[in-house]
Structure 1
């Protein structure tokens, strides 16, 4: 392995690892930097004092020991975190229990304090970590440039697909919209629901002949290619954890030319242009109202999808890479 300018130390190989480590490293490569990324730190990165280490939510005991050692050596360390891990809801029991452990919370704080800089996705998250490290850089999520030219493989038989994709950590969000979505599908026979990653359609008791399910797609780019909705949905409960999230679902859908119907919670309020790139839901009955408008009007879907795609052009990794460069390399 050649001498590295930057090593991205990923916490996982799924969505967070892709959007906050792998894709940013790709962006830095485009700017001429020598980079690598992995969940395991190679000796070439660990032992080279010139290599900047970007560590994603480092908090487990052994990685934390290494992080603290590197900090004592005067290494440039950038702590990357994209969720409010201090306010995970109990409806995600595994993550809630893990990040509530006193030793894990202590490691999070110490490792943030030891970092040269911190990168986050949103302003609320910056406010969360700033007391431990004032050198916080807000670097919004971005999408790969190729997505803007990808055409989703939508059904063309007259059935309109309402879609969502994500992990099994969104029960509290679907609690907000389940009744309205179930009624909408029951009253609009020319529609179906497609869930990717976690089968919330079955959880909402939507009939099997009105729903499709694609199991968890580990590779993010394969997941993006699996999106085939005509209309995307993004329910989000107004919870403290969610206030710090990004509008990634709206950004992904928009890059594919798909309008979104999303909860009017901060991430989407800050991104979705109501009536232009999608709709924001402020009252329960508006789920059906906005979905019906898009399902029944192909011209509106097309216009909103085009506007959403134009908006997404400002949020590619090529556009965002200079922000990563400034945060990581100073």
Structure 2
């Protein structure tokens, strides 16, 4: 895609969030990408890496038509945002979390980084920019309290990175899998009774977690062979670990933090052809029984998991259909089109919002 304004995406460090929300759209659009940080004083901006040779520097920022900054805070960015705007550069804010809710959720993996002062600092950046790019419609609407111009640009996925074959299974073992950070701890606790019930009813089933050590809590009852935790890994390795899953699940804590979450768990599972049992509030794009399975109450979770455990043909059908849907509608090359529309719109000044 070459008809976009000259754009630089600045991800906050080299995190998975930076990869999905800045690196991938930049690559798909033909834009430039770098990561940003600050020196020890937390006010001096530095660009810490990038795709160019050499990568862009802070001094190069005025040379772009649009600069997209992930989690731009006021302390480090306010002066620079004003300088860029004075020179005709449009500055957009990229965010994929409802930080106000994360601050209140004590079990969120980044709750300690979202104290009141930190959130106010982020809100200062939100108010200063020309608009905000958000991962979901929910947070796009919420952030209009800080900026009149918000857009929803949903996550896309690089299918090539998920092009793995599943390893051979032993006997009739079926693996339930969860992949995600400790920020999902509260939601996992809600579904834990159903997961334990399923493991008790089907001795051929094991639980494998990747990232947050969710399966560790099951070792005492079910043993180490049926409850296995793998640590977080780089995006280069992470998809391979998910090939151990036969069925994935994605619960919700049913609060605003989770209402603001994207459907990335579904995209990742679908990229590997794995059926996902998921909460409908967070995963409304799933067509129940076709591209995944919706479950809200514990009884629904248990029934859905048992049905998929006992029916390998249904697992394969749903996994295959989900993969086809994501391939056609949510691969990054398709998803990036919405980002391109925003970039063109903000430069043209023709603002039409979600």
Q: So what's the TM-score if we normalise by structure 1?
A: 0.89
- Note closer, same or farther for the CA distance 1:224–1:93 as it changes in structure 2 (3 Å cut): closer
Aligned partner of 1:187 in structure 2 is 201
1:267 aligns with 2:282: yes
Aligned-pair CA distance for 1:324: 1.3
Question: Residue 329 of structure 1: CA displacement?
Answer: 4.1
Counterpart mapping for 1:1-330 below 5 A? 5-29=6-30, 33=31, 35-39=32-36, 40-41=46-47, 44=57, 46-51=59-64, 52-59=66-73, 61-88=75-102, 89-92=104-107, 95-102=110-117, 104-147=118-161, 149-153=163-167, 155-205=169-219, 206-217=222-233, 219-228=234-243, 229-264=245-280, 266-268=281-283, 270-313=284-327, 314-330=329-345
Q: Deviations over 1:210-249 (max 9, x none)?
A: 12221111x2232112212110011111111111111110
Cα separation, 1, equivalents of 2:285 and 2:197: 27
- Per the TM alignment, residue 12 of structure 1 is displaced from its structure 2 partner at its CA by 3.1
Distance (Å, rounded) in 2 between the aligned partners of 1:144 and 1:22: 11
Q: Is the 8 A contact 2:78 2:128 kept in 1?
A: no
Q: Deviations over 1:246-280 (max 9, x none)?
A: 1110111012111011123x221x12211112211
* Matched position secondary structure for 2:133: strand
Q: 2:15, 2:108 → 1: CA distance? A: 19
Alpha-carbon distance in 1 for matches of 2:231, 2:108? 21
SS at match of 1:220: coil
Please give the secondary structure, in 2, of the residue aligned with 1:163. Answer: strand
Quick one: distance in 2 between partners of 1:189 and 1:94?
32
Structure 1 pair 188–65 and aligned structure 2 pair: CA distance change class (3 A)? farther
CA contact (8 A) 1:78 1:328 kept: no
Give structure 2 stretches of 5+ with no counterpart: 37-45, 48-54, 346-354
Indicate conservation of the 8 Å contact 1:55/1:77, yes or no: yes
Q: Over aligned residue pairs, what C-alpha RMSD do you find?
A: 2.2
- The 3 A distance-change label for structure 1 pair 90 and 125 is closer
1:38 partner SS: strand
Q: Are the structure 2 counterparts of residues 148 and 204 from structure 1 closer, same or farther at C-alpha, using a change threshold of 3 Å? A: closer
Cα shift at 1:310: 1.3
Q: How many residues align?
A: 319
**Residues 1:222 and 1:329: Cα distance change in structure 2 (over 3 Å):** farther
Question: For residues 147-202 of structure 1, what are the alpha-carbon distances to aligned partners after superposition, in whole Å with 9 as ceiling and x for unaligned?
Answer: 56433335343211110111111111111011111121122111111110111111
2:11 touches 2:33 (CA, 8 Å); kept in 1? no
